[in-house]
A and B are shown apart, each in its own frame.
Chain A
Amino acid sequence: MNSVEGLVNQIQGLSTTASDVLSLQNLLKQADDSLHAESTRLLPFLDQLDPSKHSLGYLYFLEACTAGPVTKEQAGSYVLMIARFITSCIAEQIRLAPDKFITVCKRFKDQVLLLEEPLRGVAPMLTAIRKLQSSSEHLTALHPEFLLLCLLSRCYKAGLSILEEDVFEVDQPRDLFLFCYYGGMISIGKKWFRKALELLHNVVTAPMSTVNAIAVEAFKKYILVSLIHHGQSPTNLPKYASSVAQRNLKNLCQPYIELANSYSNGKIADIETYVEANKDKFESDNNLGLVKQAVSSMYKRNIQRLTQTYLTLSLQDIANRVQLNSPKEAEMHVLQMIKDGEIYATINQKDGMVRFLEDPEQYKTCEMIEHIDSSIQRLMTLSKKLNGLDELMSCDPLYLLKAGRERQRFDFDDFDNVPQRFNI
């Protein structure tokens, strides 16, 4: 008890200047084990510490406190405490002990789920991410946890802000996989299929030495979303995908590959029978809804193809060519597509004719010019970043060593270990 009290005093004393905080950190590291030993009795001490000033100390105490198994009643109080801590803590202090912070937040998530109120965790987790990130391009271990909470609470919009940011620095590959997978699922939920495709593509083509379950599930969704968005499924993974993925992913997702094949044949009856036959498999993967969306996207694609060939077409003809049952159904489909902005057409109900129009976008408005301009700016920044990275890499001594070793040797001098004449 004494040591704990003493620790509390020290925390209170040493939490003001940066150098003090550093020495405090050393003390805390040494005292960590003893804190864990006394975890059950630490709760009252927390009241003596102020999270907004003594963040680091509070963090250590909190981490030790919540280390053991937690009951539902305890969970309620812990959740409040951790939420308050996250909102009021000082970012610089907690960045000194990121692992502890991450552990605390993960436990927070577990408790929130235990209470079956994921919504309570969404906002605090977002704040936690912002405080932990060193920059907006940094992917922390908390990102996937946050997205998981968003998914479970169906609060998709909150996930949007995180998804819109570009990620370039990653702590742990597993975080990235989960992040992109959950991000893909959220995007599917909001019907942002292009974003979903991008995120799932990242999972599937990420470097991996063995196939992991996340990649397999992501690949299944990737096929379905490609069908919905592009009307065709990726036949082969691009060359930069890992060889492990290229060899194995297809074998593990056989029903989906066959679904994609029957989609490309274009017969709606075939694909519907296939879906019926394999309903259980799709359902066990929780993909049945997505599969149904893929099937209905087939009608859309067929109608879109008609716009390329016809100027006007009767509803009866549309129904025949797209294999719908009646002109009424065709009318409903076309109407829905016009509303969603997927085709440009007018329906003449008197004659039962649909007239297909050209895309009215003339690329002459101010908004369009601004859009193009901002795209150019964005791409130029990206390009500069790429060049910067390339320059950095070409100065890296390890790279030079390897490149030097593998270069052609025409001269005796070339056989040295370190490249003396490095010709780029």
Chain B
Amino acid sequence: MDGIEGASNPMMEEMQANGTGGVDGSPLTSTSRRKNRPIVSGEPLDIEAYAGLYTGRTKIKRLMFIANHCDNPGMQLEALRMAYDEIKRGENTHLYREVVQKIDGRLGPNYAMDAAWCSTIERKAEQRKEKLESELNAYRTNLIKESIRMGYNDFGDFYYAHGALGDAFKSYVRTRDYCTTSKHIIQMCLNAILVSIEMVQFSNVTSYVSKAEQTPEALDPPTVAKLCCAAGLAHLEAKKYKLAARKFLEVGPELGNSYSEVIAPQDVATYGGLCALASFDRTELKNKVIDNINFRDFLELVPEVRELINDFYSSHYASCLEYLGNLKSNLMLDIHLYDLVETLYDQIRNKALIQYTLPFVSVDMRMMADAFKTSVVGLEKELEALITDNQIQARIDSHNKILYARHADQRNATFQRVLQTGNEFDQEVRAMLLRSSLLKYDYNIRALRKH
């Protein structure tokens, strides 16, 4: 156990010092890697690098989420500042007001409420809206399908930029009737998916993903990748970890940065890796994650996740759990993952415990407690829960602190079940015959009364 931990540390140092990349040896300068690896274990999140991965509304949302959930006031202010700058570049006055309220004057006079800007934006918005409406009405009277479609599309974009997500969604959906080519349909689906994700209505996401997948002609690889990501996110929110993992693992490397309005490739790696670890069995883990060439590129972006998956597979549980612990604080700042972190971690830990005990007939609980960096008492409690849940077939010898594997005696169990089934059958048939006789009596009485 100590030997392995010693080996991983010099590897880490080497990576950071020499600036060489991961196992493939792809050359990366240290600065660009810094940009690609904002979640560095143990260190607080580099907000600028993190925000650089995203564009559009999700960038603002993520920054505000970090500001709300972070304890470090320095990071909070940094996040709010960046959010403010980003919002100012857009047209969403609602979010602007929110962010100004949160800043509360702490960042100085440059970041105070700019009422003039607000009113200008709102006026412009009104004008634009009127213009769009008149254009749309013109197109509608002319009944030109393509123009009507583009009109609704523009409306959707307009509402989205101003934060009216419900109206944006409705507008995008209305283009459906005017879509003529499959490209249009794909565009509509992608827009609808984007708005649904922002609205946190993932049932719509799933339906639009399937709709888009039904038009295979117009699907180019980046779009396919985007749809996989969206589907994966939907499953993640629905807590279907296995399905989410499978979807994320299917994402091709063509994704690149093309879906930065929703998700970054680092996220694909993290979500996919953690969900796979929590829900796959060993064979699936090996085939779909470790041997998956496409996914390897993604894992390069988050080497900690790669390391911890490898550690788990090679049974180095202490270091695996250590990586998990280091990543936790930063994962809690991710808007999709924060409420799922605890569950995923518990599942991964349970899997590790089960996997540890699987090959042995008897296990010394003291050694196991060392391997998992916990006390014997705590370990006993965890094992008890797993045994009661029937995930581990074993018995605890509490006196000597040994775990003994226990394999059910099939023969005895079969006899027991047979006798029990016989008794149940006996009881049920007798009760049934009794009831039928009562019903017959009842029926006879009623027949008598009728006559």
Binding site for B on A (CB under 8 A): 166-173, 176, 198, 201-202, 205-207, 240, 305, 308-314, 317, 351, 353, 356, 358-359, 361-363, 368, 371-372, 375-376, 378-379, 382-383, 385-386, 389
User: Nearest chain-B residue to A306 (Cβ)?
Assistant: B384
**Complex CA–CA separation, A313 to B422 (angstroms):** 35
Q: Give the chain B neighbours of A207 by CB distance below 8 A.
A: 435, 438-439, 442
Q: Give the chain B neighbours of A313 by CB distance below 8 A.
A: 398-399
Contact B418 A372 (CB under 8 A): yes
Partner of B425, one of A171, A314, A379: A379
Whether A311 touches B434, Cβ cut-off 8 Å, given contacts A207-B442, A379-B425, A386-B429, is no
**Complex CA–CA separation, A103 to B279 (angstroms):** 72
**Complex CA–CA separation, A379 to B422 (angstroms):** 7
Q: Which residues of B (411-447) have their CB < 8 Å from a CB of A?
A: 411-412, 415, 418-419, 422-423, 425-427, 429-439, 441-442
Q: Is B387 positioned at the interface, with any CB of A under 8 Å from its CB?
A: yes
User: Nearest chain-A residue to B436 (Cβ)?
Assistant: A389
Whether A170 touches B434, Cβ cut-off 8 Å, given contacts A309-B384, A372-B418, is yes
**Complex CA–CA separation, A371 to B409 (angstroms):** 21
Q: Give the chain B neighbours of A167 by CB distance below 8 A.
A: 434
Q: Which residues of B (367-416) have their CB < 8 Å from a CB of A?
A: 384, 387-388, 395-400, 404, 409, 411-412, 415
Contact A312 B436 (CB under 8 A): no
Q: What distance in Å separates the Cβ of A316 from its nearest Cβ neighbour in chain B?
A: 10
Q: What distance in Å separates the Cβ of A321 from its nearest Cβ neighbour in chain B?
A: 9
Whether A375 touches B419, Cβ cut-off 8 Å, given contacts A309-B388, A382-B429, is yes
Q: Give the chain A neighbours of B436 by CB distance below 8 A.
A: 389
Q: Give the chain A neighbours of B400 by CB distance below 8 A.
A: 312
Contact A201 B412 (CB under 8 A): no
**Complex CA–CA separation, A202 to B399 (angstroms):** 47
Q: What distance in Å separates the Cβ of A379 from its nearest Cβ neighbour in chain B?
A: 6
Contact A173 B438 (CB under 8 A): yes
Partner of B435, one of A205, A362, A375: A205
Q: Give the chain A neighbours of B442 by CB distance below 8 A.
A: 173, 207
Contact B426 A382 (CB under 8 A): yes
Q: Give the chain B neighbours of A372 by CB distance below 8 A.
A: 415, 418-419
Q: What distance in Å separates the Cβ of A377 from its nearest Cβ neighbour in chain B?
A: 11
Not counting A308-B387, A368-B415, A379-B422, a sample of 20 additional A-B residue pairs whose C-beta atoms are within 8 angstroms of each other reads A168-B434, A176-B434, A176-B438, A198-B427, A202-B434, A205-B435, A206-B434, A207-B439, A305-B388, A310-B384, A312-B398, A313-B399, A314-B398, A363-B411, A371-B419, A372-B419, A375-B423, A375-B426, A382-B426, A386-B433
**Complex CA–CA separation, A386 to B396 (angstroms):** 48
Contact A206 B422 (CB under 8 A): no
**Complex CA–CA separation, A375 to B426 (angstroms):** 9
Q: Which residues of B (25-67) have their CB < 8 Å from a CB of A?
A: none
Contact A206 B425 (CB under 8 A): no
Contact B435 A312 (CB under 8 A): no
Contact B412 A363 (CB under 8 A): yes
**Complex CA–CA separation, A171 to B400 (angstroms):** 64
Contact B429 A383 (CB under 8 A): yes
Q: What distance in Å separates the Cβ of A375 from its nearest Cβ neighbour in chain B?
A: 5
Q: Give the chain A neighbours of B419 by CB distance below 8 A.
A: 371-372, 375
Contact B399 A314 (CB under 8 A): yes
7 nearest CB pairs, A to B: A363-B415, A311-B395, A311-B397, A312-B399, A309-B387, A313-B398, A375-B422
Q: Give the chain A neighbours of B435 by CB distance below 8 A.
A: 202, 205-207, 240
Q: What distance in Å separates the Cβ of B345 from its nearest Cβ neighbour in chain A?
A: 24
**Complex CA–CA separation, A353 to B396 (angstroms):** 13
Q: Give the chain B neighbours of A173 by CB distance below 8 A.
A: 438, 441-442
**Complex CA–CA separation, A223 to B182 (angstroms):** 63
Q: Which residues of B (331-373) have their CB < 8 Å from a CB of A?
A: none
From B388, B398, B426, B442, residue with most partner A Cβ within 10 Å = B398
User: Nearest chain-B residue to A180 (Cβ)?
Assistant: B434
User: Nearest chain-B residue to A317 (Cβ)?
Assistant: B398
Q: What distance in Å separates the Cβ of A348 from its nearest Cβ neighbour in chain B?
A: 9
